[in-house]
Amino acid sequence: EQEDRVLVKVAQRLQNLLHKDDGVARFGDEFVVYLHGVGSQKMAMVLYQKIIGVFEIPINMYDGTRYSVGTSVGGALYPADGLDIETILRVVDIRMYSMKKFGSQTG
C-alpha cells in the first residue's frame, strides 16, 4: 500500500539522522525515536527540530506522487522524566498531545 511505502521512506530519513546508538520504531501511524546520550532539554530541542525537518520535506514516490507528512513531537529525558519505558512513553504522549492542543510542534 502506498501509505506504508511513504512511512518506510520517513523511517529511512529518520534513521539517516540518527547515530549508531539511537533507534527508531513504528507504532501504528507514529514513530518512536530513541536518542542516546541526550543530556539536557536544550540539546533535546535541537534534535526535535532536526526530526521535524525530516517531515517538512515532501516525500517523492517513484510514480511521481508527492506526499506531505505532518508531525508532532513530544519528548522525555531519562532518568529525569521516568525510570521505565512505560513512564517515559506516557510522558512523551502527554507532552505531544499538549503541544498539539496549544499549536506547537514540540514538547
Q: What structural domains and CATH numbers belong to the chain? A: 2-73 (3.30.70.270)
Helix (H, G, I), strand (E, B) or coil at 106: strand
Residues 25-74 have pLDDT tens digits of 988 778 999 999 998 989 999 999 999 999 999 999 999 999 999 888 89
Please report, as a single letter, which amino acid is at residue 74: G
* H/E run at residue 25: strand 23-27
What's the gap between Cα 67 and its chain centre?
A: 17
Total Cβ atoms within 10 A of residue 74: 19
Give the per-residue pLDDT at 103: 66
Helix (H, G, I), strand (E, B) or coil at 57: coil
Contacting residues for 62 by C-beta, under 8 A, at least 6 apart: none
Residues 76-94 have pLDDT tens digits of 999 999 999 999 999 999 9
